[in-house]
Structure 1
Amino acid sequence: MADYTNPDRKSPFKKFLIIGLLFVGLIISGMVWYNYFYVFGEGVKSGTLNYAVYKGNLFKTYEGKIIQEGFGGNKTTGNLTSYEFEFSMENEAIFKQMESNSGKYFELHYKEYHNTLPWRGNTVYIVDKINAIK
Structure 2
Amino acid sequence: MDNSNHAGPSYKSRFKKFILKIVLGVIVLCAILLWACSWTYSEGTRAGQLIKISKKGVVFKTNEGELNMGGLRMGNANDGLEGNLWQFSVLNEEVLEELKSAEGKRVKLSYKERYKTMPWQGNTNYFITKVEVIKP
Please tell me the TM-score bracket, short chain as reference: 0.5 to 0.7
- Aligned counterpart, 2:62: 61
Q: Deviations over 1:45-82 (max 9, x none)?
A: 11101100122222221110001125868xxxxxxx74
Distance 1:84 1:27, change over 3 A: same
1:103 to 2:104 alignment = yes
Unaligned runs of 5+ in 2: 75-81
- Aligned counterpart, 2:50: 49
- Aligned counterpart, 1:76: none
- Aligned counterpart, 1:133: 133
CA distance in 2, matches of 1:24, 1:111: 30
Matched-pair identity in %: 28
SS at match of 2:45: strand
SS at match of 1:117: coil
- Aligned counterpart, 1:78: none
Moved beyond 6 Å, runs of 4+ = 20-23
TM-score under structure 2 length normalisation: 0.66
CA distance in 2, matches of 1:95, 1:65: 13
- Aligned counterpart, 1:40: 41
CA distance in 2, matches of 1:55, 1:94: 17
Unaligned runs of 5+ in 1: 74-80
Letter in 2 for 1:58: V
Q: Do the aligned partners of 1:62 and 1:92 also contact (CA within 8 Å) in 2?
A: no
> How does 1:67-82 map onto structure 2 within 5 Å?
67-70=68-71, 82=83
Q: Do the aligned partners of 1:62 and 1:91 also contact (CA within 8 Å) in 2?
A: no
CA distance in 2, matches of 1:112, 1:84: 16
Q: Deviations over 1:98-133 (max 9, x none)?
A: 222221011111111122212211111111211x20
